[in-house]
Structure 1
């Protein structure tokens, strides 16, 4: 089987596709096609692989190609050593992972001078052979025959033979695989507090005396342990249970030396096996398990961040309506910015309704003036410090307005990352003469109009919807989040005549440079009237046009189909359908029933298959359909503005701000997110919180627990309002008969850390069971 066939078959098994589908997708991606383009416009070629399958395909393709490159390098190295055998070639060819490949290569890998090498140089390899061959003789007696100037006594001779055997054992691929497989199932993670760090590391107190199975440790707990270790608060180890597991591992090592009886040689070999496990192999295995635990936790945390980011980017837009953005502040004032329906800045102001000025009347007059002067329909209020006070100010102002005046709708908006945008080079270019704090108000207003268009201007990591996002592999995280942004932007589509360069840069086939060229061309020559005019943009050739055209929209242009997701290459098919229906595009929208009667099969030809024709029919029915949900916002309870206003049993409405592996964080309007633990999300077992909620959802919750001192709020979404929360926590903490011990010396829940980059603070959750996880993280 050649390399390409093997890769296609392996990937097909991983993503649930057949080899021809995989081969077609790989060919398209290798030719420079993007995942969104292939998923949307090349369904016939790939058999309908979706973007998630294609992303996994691309990731696995990279790994498998790297694996084959490493395989070739290892074969070359061993061949140059003149040690390559047919059996070794077959073993290297059959290796399915990089770990297996490196295990096989270990004995042949160039290395620095070792104790085993020195022992061989001193002529002790024959002693090793003699002991292995005659188990009835005393190894000390055998060793006397191998003494020399370099090996002056029996002890050194036996130690040299032991070193040779230990190195051979540590380079035996079969043994390493056996030990690894056993430990991956049975290893225990044990953590202990470093003496004297109890007070400094109080937030990690749940891990001061903690143990649990490696295989089932959730990502948030693993990341908490790794952070605690990095900060010098705890030390931990991963290995087998000392009573049963460790002897089992020693037995596996000893089995490789084949001790068959109880002679002196057999006893010596068993001692060597025990020594090899304790000194060499256990350390190797622990290092591997720590690395794998870290990689697994990083992967899960990255997946959580990616899901949350996708939900946030695809949140419902309020639409193109004049909006007043308010960035709350106390001493420095409330920053106000009005934008028109297209996001263009119209006016700014700074209000001082709070201490020390307390100019409430002036602030109200300013808000009323801005609303009237610019026909404001929406008021976006940032959810930071003084958010609820600012919301009350707005509510009081609107109440004073004449009854006949249409009052704007006020909405609390997440301001996560707004400060990052305000200080960015992009914001400086867009608003060179505007104060940094006022830029934040503009961002808050725009993200209410269209979250996707505004949030793409901010580095995804700064949006703050992950757990331990600053601890994970930043390169992998960035790559994953960029893919999420790309998929979200192309799923929605982009208005070619209003989109900013940062938004255009995420469109399939467009680079940041091409995006800047499009905006410059638009500024110089005016709005695009057809998609074909893109070919007049500097450096935008036919290949880039093919990739991007279907994702760009032109409203009210010369070609009605340019407002749809129909690709220009398929306009001919769309026009045939319209001609046969006797209607133009706008008429078809008014009579969608006509399209229900169309047989898609009748329009299949050599270039366009059934999937594409069906997509065209869907687009003709509702051109440029936005896949995002309709706009809705939570209504916060009047009089509940601070955590001290909360009482157990209160029923409130809130917005999900973040979803982690252990539950969901909900903004209920008190400047502090509450936590709905995974056990309180529904009246059924929930394995993954994303099954029930996503970022941006408006939900009904009941307060179950309030800790004002530590700013923690427990919430429930169960029908019983969390009445059985205590019972559930007890059930969760009750150990299973086969579960490893899990204890805490102090019994105190960990404390949250200050958030970073304006995030919701989920990345700082130190993770634990019971009430510690029902406690809300400090959000700001």
Structure 2
């Protein structure tokens, strides 16, 4: 007993705590990495002329105009929330900018004054212009970073933040890689876990997402190029410098001219780099240069060119991949090549869909129990999902409220940035807590012994039970006097 208390118990307790902490860290890191990946792979709107607004009340709304490549064209400020006179000026400014730069979409940050600014913009009834609320988590981190200062040395922080909001609408992945993944507002307990393991996991997640989508070589920033397999910050900077000096890359082979980019780095990176309008059509696809010869042979066997083969699905269906299997190229690789030929340079991200919050619900005080609202999932944890419903405070959909069935893992039901319909279950204005539900109102119909729902039974099917029942009351009370006489008789017999 003494040996257990002095030696074994403390050692076992310490070991158990360490093992439990490691397990908890691994789970928290897994959740964070999964959420980060979903956010990075959010649907992009694509190359559009965008007007982006970083909203505010007293300090005004910072407005920037971006071209289709995300370059800053003009910036100004409007004050639509500080008086009627300023509202007129703000309206005139927005209308003028939209006409001047042929604006196709307006991105509005979802922070302070976001819903009010959205209502103001929608009230202008701009034709052929999509208005979208954008999650601005981490935009302030970017605006004060070295990356932002290097890109916009003469602009203030508010302008940089508005630019980031607009670019997030165009291509979330390209913009979010400029921010420390720990600052993008997803995950659980990320500040309590092993920071080295967390950073390594998030770096792997970003690399995986970037390479899954592919990178446009002639327009990519050095930040996103640094995450391409085989490259890094130094080679990414060298690529940008070479591009600025010699102009756009015309083919993948010219990558070998970049200083310090050797054969091994080229071999690893080439398949993930795309070149739009390249001399070789395969440079626009995910087919690796090492496999160009196989595609050329496929086209030659069909009596056509590679360019024609990539455009003609009928010709692609005639290819029998088994004929091209060698010791170096297996059937899975050939199958991937055929998929890439069918959709060269395909983007695995979902198609962009415009979203808007429910009108008339701008603050927590506007919420009522039972309200049905539109929302966007902003974060997922093991105990549920947080949903932005446009009231400056995310609501929680607990795991038990995610579906009409048992849910072991919330990621099986929802994804970060997914659009959902929720019902308000509980509101605590003082503590700023909102409970939501995604359960549907459909309930399974109750069935009787006949196997049919009760409401489907007709009166002719109902047959009352006419069989006579012989009910016997339990514990029927006996006559008290008779019972007493019987006991007295027994006692007399015992003493004879």
Q: Which category of TM-score, normalised to the shorter sequence, fits these structures?
A: 0.7 to 0.9
In the other structure, the counterpart of 2:106 is 379
In the other structure, the counterpart of 2:361 is 640
The 3 A distance-change label for structure 1 pair 652 and 284 is same
SS state at 1:636 partner: coil
Shift of 1:711: 0.8
Structure 1, unpaired ranges of 5+: 1-273, 723-780
Alignment of 1:756-775 (within 5 A): none
Q: Does 1:690 align with 2:414?
A: no
Mapped to 2, the partners of 1:671 and 1:505 lie a distance apart of 35
Mapped to 1, the partners of 2:13 and 2:77 lie a distance apart of 58
Q: Does 1:336 align with 2:63?
A: yes
In the other structure, the counterpart of 2:152 is 431
Q: Would the aligned equivalents of 1:550 and 1:567 in 2 still touch at CA under 8 Å?
A: yes
Mapped to 1, the partners of 2:334 and 2:150 lie a distance apart of 44
In the other structure, the counterpart of 2:227 is 506
The 3 A distance-change label for structure 1 pair 520 and 357 is farther
SS state at 2:88 partner: helix
SS state at 2:434 partner: strand
In the other structure, the counterpart of 2:25 is 298
The 3 A distance-change label for structure 1 pair 567 and 682 is same
In the other structure, the counterpart of 1:255 is none
Shift of 1:589: 4.4
Shift of 1:614: 1.1
In the other structure, the counterpart of 1:345 is 72
Mapped to 2, the partners of 1:483 and 1:276 lie a distance apart of 46
**Deviation per CA, 1:136-179, whole angstroms, max 9, x where unpaired?**
xxxxxxxxxxxxxxxxxxxxxxxxxxxxxxxxxxxxxxxxxxxx
In the other structure, the counterpart of 2:332 is 611
Q: Does 1:360 align with 2:81?
A: no
Q: Does 1:416 align with 2:143?
A: no
In the other structure, the counterpart of 2:377 is 656
Alignment of 1:359-508 (within 5 A): 359-397=86-124, 399=125, 401=126, 406-508=127-229
Mapped to 2, the partners of 1:434 and 1:526 lie a distance apart of 27
In the other structure, the counterpart of 1:557 is 278
Q: Does 1:621 align with 2:348?
A: no
Mapped to 2, the partners of 1:577 and 1:331 lie a distance apart of 65
Mapped to 2, the partners of 1:588 and 1:411 lie a distance apart of 39
SS state at 1:359 partner: helix
Q: Would the aligned equivalents of 2:310 and 2:316 in 1 still touch at CA under 8 Å?
A: no
Mapped to 2, the partners of 1:415 and 1:358 lie a distance apart of 29
Q: Would the aligned equivalents of 2:295 and 2:306 in 1 still touch at CA under 8 Å?
A: no
Q: Would the aligned equivalents of 1:420 and 1:458 in 2 still touch at CA under 8 Å?
A: yes
Task: Give the alignment partner of residue 36 of structure 2, picking from 291, 306, 309.
Answer: 309
Structure 2, unpaired ranges of 5+: 444-496
Q: Would the aligned equivalents of 1:633 and 1:698 in 2 still touch at CA under 8 Å?
A: no
Q: Would the aligned equivalents of 1:352 and 1:358 in 2 still touch at CA under 8 Å?
A: no
Shift of 1:278: 2.4
**Deviation per CA, 1:539-572, whole angstroms, max 9, x where unpaired?**
1011110010000000101111000000000000
Shift of 1:640: 0.6
The 3 A distance-change label for structure 1 pair 448 and 604 is same
Task: Give the alignment partner of residue 709 of structure 1, picking from 422, 430, 437.
Answer: 430
Q: Would the aligned equivalents of 1:701 and 1:721 in 2 still touch at CA under 8 Å?
A: no
Mapped to 2, the partners of 1:408 and 1:716 lie a distance apart of 33
In the other structure, the counterpart of 2:351 is 630
Task: Give the alignment partner of residue 244 of structure 2, picking from 515, 523, 541.
Answer: 523
Shift of 1:471: 1.3
SS state at 2:123 partner: helix
In the other structure, the counterpart of 1:97 is none
Q: TM-score, normalised by structure 2?
A: 0.87
Q: Would the aligned equivalents of 1:702 and 1:721 in 2 still touch at CA under 8 Å?
A: no
The 3 A distance-change label for structure 1 pair 585 and 692 is farther
Could you say which structure has the higher helix fraction?
A: 1
Q: TM-score, normalised by structure 1?
A: 0.56
